[in-house]
């Protein structure tokens, strides 16, 4: 019998790659989708499989989660759904807390109430380390710097608590930034590579950014969803950092992306204060030794290569759009 997986956030960047991975492994995949006035499934539209099933629900609606967990009876649950934008979390702190923090609790309670023998993955984040200096690993002190980071820290600890209190196979993947051509358009990397594509193709002549000094550890999303799956296949539930171990400033990423298209970034990028955050996370560089030793997982794609592949993908996609 095929294993059944239940994924929240299936329409997001990671959810789409994880769905492809699990279907290729022979899983039956069930995804939670939100009702909106327009259909928002661009990242999974290309997946044509009788083993993919979508269900309406929301992480802020506990009843929908209880009903779906009962109905699907999953072997594995991946909780990837979130209001995942750090800057937006300062504008919508309560909604972010409900979706990203209490949402995890609602899902864990639905699993516990159903009495299922099921494995649970929580999408934790390097944002929980916040002001703690790099390199950050599983034993680094948490010090979140945004409502997003604080909400995710609650979800992280409640996952640990359900593991210890109820013997649930619950793991928390503490993932550093990971990107791809499917990255949301308002995150730094994608905003930059889309901007480069638009400049190359003559559709715009400048790009407005905020803080260029922040350091991030950017990896490639398809490799990170493989790490999530490996965490759930291990004998024991535990917490793992996934990261490349290499830090780059925003400025370095911008320079690499423009250079790949033969452009000098300084001629196009201007500073705009509106993209600053009330409190910033200055530097995130992860130490993923534990994932390498225990799970055999290692990031293969670094930020320079990522900038190149994202610029290439955006130039190709935008030229198709402009020709249409």
Q: Is 277 exposed, middle or buried (0-12, 13-18, 19+ CB in 10 A)?
A: middle
Q: Does 8 bind ligand F7E (CB under 6 A)?
A: no
Q: Does 100 bind ligand F7E (CB under 6 A)?
A: no
Tell the smallest beta-carbon distance from residue 323 to ligand F7E (Å): 28
Q: Does 151 bind ligand NAP (CB under 6 A)?
A: no
Under a CB-based contact definition with an 8 Å cutoff, are residues 303 and 253 in contact?
A: yes
Q: Which of these ranges, 163-171, 177-185, 200-208, 246-254, lies near ligand NAP under the rule CB under 6 A?
A: 177-185
State which residue has the least CB distance to ligand NAP. Answer: 12
What does 13 interact with, of ligand F7E, ligand NAP, none (CB < 5 to 8 A by kind)?
ligand NAP
Q: Is 127 designated active site?
A: yes
Give the whole-angstrom CA distance, residue 266 versus residue 108: 48
Q: Which of these ranges, 70-78, 125-133, 231-239, 256-264, lies near ligand F7E under the rule CB under 6 A?
A: 125-133
CA geometry: angle 266, 197, 273, nearest 5 deg: 45
Q: How far is CA 181 from CA 53, 151, 213, 258, 300, in A?
A: 24, 27, 23, 16, 17
Nearer CB in complex with ligand F7E: 277/292: 277
Q: Is 125 designated active site?
A: yes
Q: Is 302 exposed, middle or buried (0-12, 13-18, 19+ CB in 10 A)?
A: middle
Nearest of 103, 145, 147, 143 to residue 123 by alpha carbon: 103
Strand partners, 201: none
Tokens matching residue 202: 């003559």
The residues assigned a catalytic role are 125, 127, 148
Binding site for ligand NAP (CB under 6 A): 8-15, 32, 34, 40, 58-60, 80-84, 99, 123, 125, 175, 177-178, 184
Binding site for ligand F7E (CB under 6 A): 84, 86-87, 125-127, 176-177, 186-188, 191, 209-211, 214, 216, 250, 275, 277, 280
């Amino acid at each position: 019998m095929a294993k059944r997986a239940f994924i929240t956030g299936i329409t997001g960047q990671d959810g789409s790659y994880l769905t492809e991975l699990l279907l290729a492994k022979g899983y039956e995949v069930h995804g939670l989708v939100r009702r909106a006035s327009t259909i928002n499934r661009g990242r999974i539209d290309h997946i044509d499989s009788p083993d993919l099933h979508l269900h309406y629900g929301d992480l802020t609606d506990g009843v929908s989660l209880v009903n779906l967990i009962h109905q699907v009876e999953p072997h594995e649950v991946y909780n990837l759904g979130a209001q995942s934008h750090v800057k937006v979390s300062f504008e919508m702190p309560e909604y972010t807390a409900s979706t990203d923090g209490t949402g995890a609790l609602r899902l864990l309670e639905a699993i516990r109430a159903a009495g299922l023998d099921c494995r649970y993955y929580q999408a934790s984040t390097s944002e929980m380390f916040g002001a703690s200096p790099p390199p950050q690993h599983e034993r680094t002190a948490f010090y979140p710097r945004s409502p997003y980071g604080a909400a995710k820290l609650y979800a992280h600890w409640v996952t640990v608590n359900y593991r210890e209190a109820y013997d649930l196979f619950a793991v928390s993947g503490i993932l550093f930034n990971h990107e791809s051509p499917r990255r949301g358009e308002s995150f730094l990397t994608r905003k930059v590579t889309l901007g480069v594509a638009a400049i190359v193709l003559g559709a715009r002549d400048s790009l407005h950014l905020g803080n260029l000094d922040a350091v991030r550890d950017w990896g490639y999303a398809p490799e990170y969803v493989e790490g999530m799956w490996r965490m759930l296949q291990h004998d024991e539930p535990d917490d793992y950092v996934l990261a490349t171990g290499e830090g780059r400033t925003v400025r370095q990423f911008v320079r690499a992306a423009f250079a790949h298209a033969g452009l000098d970034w300084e001629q196009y990028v201007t500073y705009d204060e509106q993209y600053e955050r009330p409190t910033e996370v200055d530097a995130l560089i992860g130490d993923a030794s534990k994932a390498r030793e225990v799970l055999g997982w290692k990031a293969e794609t670094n930020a320079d290569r990522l900038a190149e592949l994202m610029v290439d993908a955006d130039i190709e996609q935008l030229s198709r759009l402009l020709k249409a």
